Structure 1
Amino acid sequence: MGTEVSVNNSVDWSFQGLIHSNLSTSQLVEQALRRGEGTLTSTGAFLATTGKYTGRSPKDKYLVDEPSSHDQIEWGSVNRPMQPAVFDRLLERVQHYLSAKEVFIFDGYAGNDPHFRLPLRVINEYAWHNLFVRQLFVRPTDQELKEHQPAFTVISAPGFMADPEKDGTRSETFIAVSLERRIILIGGTRYAGEMKKSIFSVMNYLLPQQGVLPMHCSANRGPTGDTALFFGLSGTGKTTLSADPERQLIGDDEHGWSDNGIFNIEGGCYAKCIGLSQEKEPQIWNAIQFGTVLENVTVDHRGVADYSSNTLTENTRAAYPVEHIPGARIPGVGGHPETILFLTADAFGVLPPIAKLTPEQAMYHFLSGYTSKLAGTERGVTEPEATFSTCFGAPFLPRPAKVYAEMLGEKIARHRARVYLVNTGWSGGAYGVGERMKLAHTRAMVKAALNGSLDQATFTPDPVFGVYVPDSCPGVPANILQPRRTWADPTAYDQKAQELAHRFQENFARFTDVSETIQNAGPTVKS
């Protein structure tokens, strides 16, 4: 007889192999080393490589098409349907695969606000994956662990390869979410970020039902208690800019905004490491210590990490508990935000480095979600690609974009939040010609926006994009604030700006059900 493990309220699995439940950080590191899953670096961090897949596999992600959720899902290229019978076959095959394996179980939560948190169970084939989820999700107290009843279960079996002909998948990789069965099934990929993002997708479905806006953003809290949000896709600077020694970090990637304020959905941070330096990002640098999981980072013979190396991928990562950041806010909650920043890595190099948005412009840019996919964050992305990611998080949104946009608009209006667009991308030319915006300048602009000193500037509308650009900002050369001045050839700038303006217009044409004032809040396109 095997050991019975509850997968959800209605399903128990029998495991013949050894089961490790809710091991400590040091125990999981010990198990991962024993099993040869990785090594320790010179700082004590655990280093693993993910093999073939070093980023998310969005084309291999599926939502099970079930009657209870069918009409609430925006089906398409992001939310691909999987028939329940296909999911059931995969579930049975994965159960058979794992039944004789040594497995690792983590019980915890998604959500730092006890009113809205989701009790989770994660079943892992790898010890280092279990360490990853222990550091990334909210860890329960001893008393909470005794009372824990999982409401959603993640089953991760990287060694199980799907058979597309037999299983109805696109490839050997699959991330299949059943909202009705409350099970997430992952196989064919060792990239740990799939577990984190699949739960975020679930929260993006569940939270709006409770009147809570789920957001792909980081958050921090100032010395006077003011809260700030940083929206943006991977690589735009959410983690870097929110890790500010002068402010308390609430969280680096996923939050909910309820009538009580905001809360971190996670209990840890998942930072990009490419180009990481102690000088520019000291908090993240120092967070990479014992208990941290490093993915695909190159080390020398002494175990010293080379964060400049992209030998395995541009998408090198560090996963660590938020407590590794000095002064982090525990638990991860904050008041209603006073300042909201939309971060975009503009590969065209034409957007101003910072600009104030009207309420209508804020809704336009939130729905547009313009940025660049950066190298390595998804399979097949090898250099920055201009893209529009609705609500700055389209890959993780099961519901129609309008649901999230209307909730954000209502909350911005009710709490009178200031909104800025911040370009962390290129200046002086497009990608390949210009240079990436200097982090010191971006930090100075963000600081000025948060402490109110930017309000002393004179703002004028950009002639193409209409957003309001300051004429000065403490710590930033004035010419940088006007992107056209940074280009050697102003005519080339004008052409590129019009090209991006056209892209904005073409993308926004699909939002036919928003008000005319929002539709008219975008760039001006010359006829």
Structure 2
Amino acid sequence: MNIVDVSNELASLISGPNAYHNLPVARLVEKVLARKEGFLTNTGAVSVTTGKYTGRSPEDKFIVEEDSVKHLIDWGPVNKPISSEVFEKLYLKVIQYLKNRDEIYVFNGFAGADKKYRLPIQVVNELAWQNLFARQLFIRPKSQDDLKEHKNPFTIVSAPSFKADPAVDGTNSEAFIIISFEKRIILIGGTEYAGEMKKSIFSVMNFLLPERDIFSMHCSANVGQEGDVALFFGLSGTGKTTLSADPKRRLIGDDEHGWSSSGIFNIEGGCYAKCIGLSEEKEPQIYNAIRFGSVLENVVVDESTRIPDYDNSLLTENTRAAYPIEAIDNIAKPSIAGHPNTIIFLTADAFGVLPPISKLTKEQAMYHFLSGYTSKLAGTERGITSPKTTFSTCFGAPFLPLPATRYSEMLGRKIEEHDVKVFLVNTGWTGGEYGVGKRIKLAYTRAMVQAALEGELDEVETVKDPIFGLAIPAHVPGVPDEVLQPIKTWSDKNAYEQKAYELAKAFKENFKKFSNVPKEIEELGGPII
């Protein structure tokens, strides 16, 4: 089979009598209810469950090993190769499966708010609620002119009810997420978790944008009243969405951005917020965004009142809410802005030894970006039930098809070119490690971030951490001084030092995998033990 055959099969599918194209939100909601795929909550949001797949399934993700791209991909445990033959046989099976369904749903939109760099995308779904998800998460055409520009799209074909047979189909399990860059297709099956669609498009953009000298980033972004731009890097659950949804600043986007020679732009048109523990008091913007047209994934809902119980983790810790960015009151329109003034790296340190906030030199910024340390939180991937120490390069290793140094070099150039301030913020534990200490208060984290963005920490006195070499502000408005230095929050100082040295050694051991990083980044950026 060749690329023309694959394209013809797709064209035949989406032109068939069972294909519904670009249904508006209300019609998609009607389809969800009629097909009993979900039900409405008390605010009008659609509530669905995704079965045993309540998070991403990284062991089931592959990239097709094709001549035009195989020399560019950073092959390994994240980017696993699969042959064109295996892909095409499975693709034909899925297409035939979807042709036999009574209905399928097609959405045409874009990834990338800056029209100069946006990618046309097409999403073909077996389930109406997943097409609703795609419509809310990606960028929706705003005019007939937009649709005229929708040419040669990258297509997601998602059939959650189709289960692969690993012995026959060459997959790792019944689930599969396969990207073909040559054929411009993402094939998903066996898993109903909608986040696979979102992150697959992000992986595609992380391949395509750097080829155009655009830095692709796993971060949220907002802009202040004076036009000052802030980026928040971090893995799922570290607080990107929460901290970027600031009523005093306009939201640009909550998860994925590009940084071009003109400034930054949101890759998406919606938000996919973790909502475990969500409350109107703590996160009013997110809480009030969950209304008609939104999708709630795996949130326990009271059967009689239809009121969501955001504190209930019975189905998963990784409960999610998907909604269009317009559901947030205070947003940048369009979702673009100038060059960043401040970058904040977010980590959820389960050791409880990293400072709640510290100022980074350029070398430290490069070191911590490459390290991408956090504690992977429960539910973000299958099998993760408690925090697990992880180093995710560039705070987004699962979504980076190219070598990590390609992204880090771009960040280094941007920091230097635009004189960007960089901070490391720990949203994890204090007073002890996970199970002993407690999570740092969100109010404290907000106060620290606000001080960093408003320049209140530019000239403040700092204390040098004796193990990590980090510059810790001695004072932050609204935060007790003793909270700022982790050792002061531990009752057992010896236990603190033991855990701190343990983490520092883990940093150094992890950094050994980078063989072509300038020596000064390793020597000046990391722990000083």
- TM-score, length-scaled by structure 2: 0.97
The answer to whether structure 1 residue 376 and structure 2 residue 379 are counterparts is: yes
2:116 is the counterpart of 1:112: no
Q: Which moved more, 1:79-88 or 1:509-518?
A: 509-518
SS in 1 for 2:258: strand
1:276 aligned residue: 278
SS at match of 1:289: coil
* Alignment match, 2:369: 366
The 5 A counterparts of 1:117-136 are 117-136=118-137
Q: What pairs up with 1:111-260 in 2 under 5 angstroms?
A: 111-143=112-144, 144-260=146-262
Match of 2:317 in 1: 314
What displacement does 1:327 show? 1.7
Tell whether the 8 Å contact from 1:105 to 1:124 is kept in structure 2 after alignment.
Answer: yes
1:8–1:182 CA contact under 8 A, matched in 2: no
| Aligned-partner Cα distance in 1 for 2:486–2:448 | 15
Query: Following the alignment from structure 1 to structure 2, what is the Cα–Cα distance between the partners of residues 485 and 155?
Result: 53
Report what 1:441 is aligned to.
444
What is residue 499 of structure 2 aligned with on the other side?
496
Matched, 1:351 2:327: no
SS at match of 2:280: coil
- Give, in whole Å, the separation in 2 of the partners of 1:8 and 1:320: 31
Shift of 1:460: 2.4
Question: 2:298 matched to which residue of 1?
Answer: 296
Q: Distance in 2 between matches of 1:352 and 1:184?
A: 40
1:456 deviates by 3.9
2:430 maps to 427
Tell me whether 1:95 sits opposite 2:98 in the alignment: no
Aligned partners of 1:356 and 1:325: how far apart in 2?
Answer: 30
> How far apart are 1:436 and its partner, in Å?
0.4
* Corresponding residue to 1:416 among 416, 419, 423: 419
CA contact (8 A) 1:78 1:395 kept: yes
1:264–1:333 Cα contact (<8 Å) kept: yes
Report the residue type matching 1:307 in the other structure: Y
Residue 341 of structure 1 corresponds to 344
Matched residue SS, 2:12: strand
8 Å CA contact retained: 2:374, 2:389: yes
Deviations 1:38-76 (A, max 9, x none): 000001100000001000000000000111111111111
Contact 2:468 2:528 in 1 (8 A): no
Given that residues 219 and 231 in structure 2 are in contact (C-alpha distance below 8 angstroms), is that contact kept between their aligned partners in structure 1? yes
CA distance in 1, matches of 2:29, 2:224: 35
- The structural deviation recorded for 1:331 is 1.2
**In 2, Cα distance between equivalents of 1:44 and 1:383:** 32
Q: Letter of the 1:335 partner, please give it.
A: G
Structure 1 residue 521, shift from structure 2 partner:
2.6
SS in structure 2 at match of 1:31: helix
In 2: Cα distance, 1:81 partner to 1:510 partner: 21
Q: What are the Cα deviations for residues 121-173 of structure 1, in whole angstroms up to 9, with x where unaligned?
A: 00000000000000000001231124422420000000100000110011000
1:266, CA displacement in angstroms?
0.1
Q: Which amino acid aligns with 1:172?
A: E
Contact (CA 8 Å) 2:460, 2:475: kept in 1 or not?
yes
Quote the Cα distance in structure 2 between the aligned partners of 1:435 and 1:17: 56
Q: Which residue of 2 aligns with 1:515?
A: 518
- Pick closer, same or farther for the CA change 1:463–1:43 going to 2, 3 Å: same
- Alpha-carbon distance in 2 for matches of 1:330, 1:60: 37
2:451 matches 1:457: no
Moved more, 509-518 or 49-58: 509-518
Do structure 1's residue 69 and structure 2's residue 69 form an aligned pair? yes
d(CA) in 2 for partners of 1:73, 1:258: 22
- State, as a whole percentage, how many aligned pairs show the same letter: 63
What displacement does 1:522 show?
4.0
Q: Paired residue for 1:12?
A: 11
In the other structure, the counterpart of 1:328 is: 331
Secondary structure, counterpart of 1:340 in structure 2 = strand
Give, in whole Å, the separation in 1 of the partners of 2:167 and 2:492. 54
- The Cα shift of 1:523 comes to 4.0
Cα distance change of structure 1 residues 289 and 328 upon mapping to structure 2, 3 Å threshold: same
How far did residue 524 of structure 1 move? 3.8
What is the CA-CA distance between 1:8 and the residue it aligns to? 4.9
Distance of 2:459 and 2:327 partners within structure 1:
36
Structure 1 residues 151 and 7: alpha-carbon distance in aligned structure 2, compared to 1, 3 A threshold: farther
Superimposed CA distance per residue, residues 60-102 of structure 1 (whole angstroms, 9 cap, x where no aligned partner): 0000011111111111110000011000011010011001211
1:25 Cα shift? 0.7
How big is the shift at 1:18?
Answer: 1.6
Separation in structure 2 between the aligned mates of residue 341 and residue 360 of structure 1, nearest angstrom: 15
For 1:10 and 1:209, the matched residues in 2 are separated by: 29
The alignment partner of 1:367 has SS state of: helix
- The change in CA–CA distance for 1:161 and 1:467 in structure 2 (over 3 A counts) is same
Q: Aligned partner of 1:372: which letter?
A: S
Q: Please state how far the C-alpha of 1:461 moved relative to its aligned partner.
A: 1.8
**How large is the Cα RMSD of the aligned pairs?**
1.4
The number of aligned residues is: 522
TM-score under structure 1 length normalisation: 0.97
Answer yes or no: is the 8 Å Cα contact 2:9–2:95 preserved in 1. no
| Residue 390 of structure 2 corresponds to residue 390 of structure 1 | no
Match of 2:25 in 1: 25
Looking at structure 2, the residues matched to 24 and 150 of structure 1 have their Cα atoms a distance apart, in angstroms, of: 23
In 1: Cα distance, 2:460 partner to 2:317 partner: 37
Report if the CA contact (8 A) 1:109-1:118 is conserved: yes
**What is the CA distance between 1:10 and its match in structure 2?**
8.9
The amino acid across from 1:63 in the alignment is: I
Aligned to 2:36: 36
Q: Which residue of 1 aligns with 2:83?
A: 83
- Quick one: which amino acid aligns to residue 426 of structure 2? N
Q: Structure 2: how far apart are the matches of 1:350 and 1:213?
A: 31
Match of 1:321, as an amino acid? P
1:225–1:284 CA distance, 2 compared to 1 (3 A): same
Gaps of 5+ in 1: none
Contact kept in structure 2, 1:428 and 1:435, CA below 8 Å: yes
SS in 2 for 1:337: coil
